[in-house]
Chains A and B, each alone.
Chain A
Amino acid sequence: MSHGPSADWGKDGAADYKSKLGVIMFCVYTIVYAGFIFINVFEPKLMKMDIGSLNLAIVYGFGLIVFAIVLAVIYNHFCTRAEKRAGMIDEEEIAINANENTDEKGAEK
């Protein structure tokens, strides 16, 4: 079966791995986010429960933001590793290196 842009997909050897990892991490975050909505709707009083000097609403809310940042960094780490393993070369790095080389040549001239 043809998929039109499949040629582009083929270039990224780590695409399947990244896609699967993305879906798993998305599910993990969705469950935690849904938990937040669930408590708000069905046990709103629980949100006002003290946790140290704060309450659950603040801790859970801040937690969701910090958790998002942590997950994003972990995801990037694994994706970058998978890309290296798949032998992908960072196009951006090539471009930067190429620019640097050109600059150096320019400077030598």
Chain B
Amino acid sequence: MNYVSSPWAVGIFIFFIMAVLAISYHFARKTKSASGYFAAGGSIHWSVNGVAFAGDYLSAASFLGICGMIAMSGYDGFLYSIGYLAGWMVALFVVAEPMKRLGKFTFTDALDSKFKSKGIRLVGAISTLLISIFYLIPQMVGAGSLVTPLLGLPHEVGVIMVGVIVIVIVATAGMASTTYVQFLKGGLLIIFSLVLVFLVLSRGLSTSPDQAGNVPYHKFITLKVTSTTEDTLQLEDKAYNVLKVFKLEDGNIFVKVSNAGIENIWKLSDDKTILEEAQSITKLANGKELYNGETKDKGKFYAVGNLSTINGVENTKTGGTMDLFTFSETIKNSTVLRWGKEVIKDADSILTVYYQKPTAGRDVMGPGLKYKVDTEKGATTNDRLNFISLMLALFLGTAALPHILIRYYTVKSAAAARKSTIVAIIAIGLFYLLTLYMGLGAMTNGVLDLTNENMAAPLLAKSFGISIFAIISAIAFATVLGTVSGLIVAASGAVAHDFMDNFMKLKLNDKAKVRAGKIAALVVGFIAIILGILFKGMNVSFLVGWAFALAASANLPAIIMILFWKKTTAKGVITSIIVGLVLALGMILLSQDTYNDVYHLVGVKAPMPISNPAIFSVPISFITLVVVSLFTQKDNVKRDVENEKLEIEEAVETKQQ
């Protein structure tokens, strides 16, 4: 789609960014020590920290990714909301307080508090870095998605903007500023999401949504087919010429048709009696792109998303404001015009075709459109394993995310850590309840950009006016800024504190440690910018699912076993982190989704049958820890003897004094 920026929107956006930088500058002047930089000096009140937790967690994945996935795939997107929140139960009930008691700045501190092992320091730092980078990718992709409709700038500019601003924030102030940025952003995000849901319900539903009269609804037409042969077909309307027929392996048939010199793609209906208007992007051999046969600036690539029938009636709309129940019930009893996607190779060009897929509301409001689970609808065992694996990763990943774990160190006590987790759960839970309605709103209000589902929520806001669009986009952008800042603090903590100070024993003083952290922040920020550009166009929530799988596989077994199994040894922890990381990362890199969307290998079968590795990598990581620990019990005995010696020596020294 072609986007033009509005000066008002740009003004609001710049105001927000300046406010964020002002907060950052304010706290920069206060932050002098390493504890101040990496953990805000343990000085944040639990209620502020709780909302900041929500701010950290409600990243681009939640606001942009989940809403986008619900808008495209219905209820299956909402599964992420359910899984993300469920993960907080692990964090609250099992991890929050003990982690606070064991750690100082980073989660590696907590892992290593018992063992004083250089190996744990090293693998903990590597794991934190890798997970942070995986989590950074979707945030950067989200930033790129935001600036396009808001400022009319290309994706790459958005990614670079976020990278630069965040590096400035983190390199100046560290954890205190990110906490207050997250607090403000978390609060604002929830308030404006409530406003957006209220507006969606006020508008009601229509089979021809026109964004309050501002954008005319494009009615997709059909052409009557008079006869078909093996290679071609005849159309009733002679103004259209059939150029080429594409028969795909999955049974779909697409037809390239020319009308008044403009070529476009149509889909042959299942009964082969009509051609349905599709939308297409043609990537020519010279790199140029045509949208529905014309250049992008012609604006012929339409926004979509509507109900084709409401309660079984065509060309109609509901009257006035709806409540949450009537809204969901109406969608359940209607037909949603969803869009499928196929990539076709045509000589030197690559065609990306989006075609109409009318779907019963009943199916939209239940699972199965993205993650196949019903065997009667062709779901295989691998499909079902993939689903279980995703839900497992979401459940177990939260409590093991480094940027969430470091937030436990910004409050004073273990009780404060618990209370801030509870504030976070309430705020995040409320927001996730709203995601379903924002997603369904975007699905039915004619606002969707088929080329980028991440834009669903901001574009939904745009349909209610440029001001709310600018505010919501600015909050979403601040969301990205805040989350990226938190992640970069976590990553720089891993490098400066865990790796340089504790692993390499460089004995950095406070000032040098903060400087090392800032340099690390710069490098990680730069890597994030590059990856954000490379991963353009992928659903951000889907990408975050991978970061969760990595965290659940590498960190969680170590955290849980250290807390609950006395026989855990340092070698057990080290091997389980390595095995979890390597296995999860390997399975992700060899999965079909990575082959299709990252390597862009059209028609190549990937070796890994499922996309989310957690169902294999988490148990294997646990088993590795147990087996290696059992074989290295001698280490624990040795460590206990040494610790006891130390304690006796300390006691003697104290007595002598």
* Interface residue B267 (Cβ < 8 Å from any Cβ of A): no
- Complex interface residues of chain A between 50 and 102 (CB less than 8 A to chain B): 52-55, 57-58, 61-62, 64-66, 68-69, 71-73, 75-76, 79-80, 83, 88, 90-92, 95
* Interface residue A104 (Cβ < 8 Å from any Cβ of B): no
- Complex interface residues of chain B between 417 and 470 (CB less than 8 A to chain A): 418-419, 421-422, 425-426, 429, 432-433, 436
* Interface residue B640 (Cβ < 8 Å from any Cβ of A): yes
Whether A33 touches B86, Cβ cut-off 8 Å, given contacts A41-B384, A92-B46, is: yes
Which of A8, A55, A68 is close to B365, meaning CB atoms less than 8 Å apart? A55
* Interface residue B81 (Cβ < 8 Å from any Cβ of A): yes
- Report yes or no: A68 in contact with B415, Cβ–Cβ below 8 A: no
Alpha-carbon distance A2/B639, docked complex (angstroms):
9
- Give, as a whole number of angstroms, the nearest-CB distance from A14 to chain B: 9
Alpha-carbon distance A65/B426, docked complex (angstroms):
9
- Report yes or no: B82 in contact with A23, Cβ–Cβ below 8 A: no
Which of B102, B367, B384, B429 is close to A47, meaning CB atoms less than 8 Å apart? B367
- Report yes or no: B89 in contact with A71, Cβ–Cβ below 8 A: yes
- Report yes or no: B365 in contact with A57, Cβ–Cβ below 8 A: yes
Whether A47 touches B422, Cβ cut-off 8 Å, given contacts A53-B329, A65-B81, is: no
Whether A55 touches B412, Cβ cut-off 8 Å, given contacts A37-B388, A72-B425, is: no
What 0/1 pattern do residues 18 to 31 of A give for CB contact below 8 A with B?
A: 11001101100110
- Give, as a whole number of angstroms, the nearest-CB distance from A92 to chain B: 5
B88, B113, B413 — which one has the most chain A CB atoms within 10 A of its CB? B413
Alpha-carbon distance A79/B362, docked complex (angstroms):
43
Interface size on A, residues (CB 8 A): 52
Which of B89, B332, B374, B640 is close to A68, meaning CB atoms less than 8 Å apart? B89
Q: Name which residue of chain B comes closest to A80, CB basis.
A: B415
Whether A53 touches B328, Cβ cut-off 8 Å, given contacts A1-B566, A33-B395, A72-B421, is: yes
For the residues of B in contact with A, the DSSP-based class is helix
- Report yes or no: A68 in contact with B367, Cβ–Cβ below 8 A: no
- Report yes or no: A91 in contact with B114, Cβ–Cβ below 8 A: no
- Report yes or no: A8 in contact with B82, Cβ–Cβ below 8 A: no
* Interface residue A106 (Cβ < 8 Å from any Cβ of B): no
Which of B85, B94, B374, B426 is close to A45, meaning CB atoms less than 8 Å apart? B374
Which of B115, B391, B433 is close to A37, meaning CB atoms less than 8 Å apart? B391
What 0/1 pattern do residues 110 to 124 of B give for CB contact below 8 A with A?
A: 000111100000000
Report, as a range, how many residues of chain B touch the other chain: 35 or more
CB-defined contacts of A44 to chain B, threshold 8 Å: 366-368, 373-374
* Interface residue A103 (Cβ < 8 Å from any Cβ of B): no
What 0/1 pattern do residues 538 to 557 of B give for CB contact below 8 A with A?
A: 00000000000000000000
- Report yes or no: B85 in contact with A8, Cβ–Cβ below 8 A: no
- Give, as a whole number of angstroms, the nearest-CB distance from A6 to chain B: 9
* Interface residue B98 (Cβ < 8 Å from any Cβ of A): yes
Which of A1, A37, A65, A79 is close to B429, meaning CB atoms less than 8 Å apart? A65
* Interface residue B300 (Cβ < 8 Å from any Cβ of A): no
- Report yes or no: A54 in contact with B328, Cβ–Cβ below 8 A: yes
Which of A1, A69, A92 is close to B45, meaning CB atoms less than 8 Å apart? A92
- Report yes or no: B419 in contact with A4, Cβ–Cβ below 8 A: no
* Interface residue A3 (Cβ < 8 Å from any Cβ of B): yes
Alpha-carbon distance A47/B640, docked complex (angstroms):
53
CB-defined contacts of A47 to chain B, threshold 8 Å: 366-367
- Report yes or no: B89 in contact with A29, Cβ–Cβ below 8 A: yes
* Interface residue B90 (Cβ < 8 Å from any Cβ of A): yes
- Report yes or no: B415 in contact with A40, Cβ–Cβ below 8 A: no
Alpha-carbon distance A75/B89, docked complex (angstroms):
11
CB-defined contacts of A76 to chain B, threshold 8 Å: 418-419, 422
What 0/1 pattern do residues 24 to 57 of B give for CB contact below 8 A with A?
A: 0000000000000000000001100000000000
CB-defined contacts of A22 to chain B, threshold 8 Å: 92-94, 97
- Report yes or no: A92 in contact with B415, Cβ–Cβ below 8 A: yes
- Report yes or no: A54 in contact with B325, Cβ–Cβ below 8 A: yes
- Complex interface residues of chain B between 390 and 429 (CB less than 8 A to chain A): 391, 395, 411-416, 418-419, 421-422, 425-426, 429
Additional A-B contact list (10), CB under 8 Å, known A69-B425, A75-B93, A92-B416: A4-B115, A12-B414, A15-B101, A44-B366, A52-B325, A53-B328, A64-B85, A72-B88, A72-B425, A92-B411
List residues of chain A with CB under 8 Å of any chain B CB.
1-5, 8-9, 12, 15, 18-19, 22-23, 25-26, 29-30, 33, 36-37, 40-41, 44-45, 47-48, 52-55, 57-58, 61-62, 64-66, 68-69, 71-73, 75-76, 79-80, 83, 88, 90-92, 95
The 6 closest A-B pairs by CB, nearest first: A22-B93, A26-B93, A2-B643, A53-B329, A48-B366, A44-B374
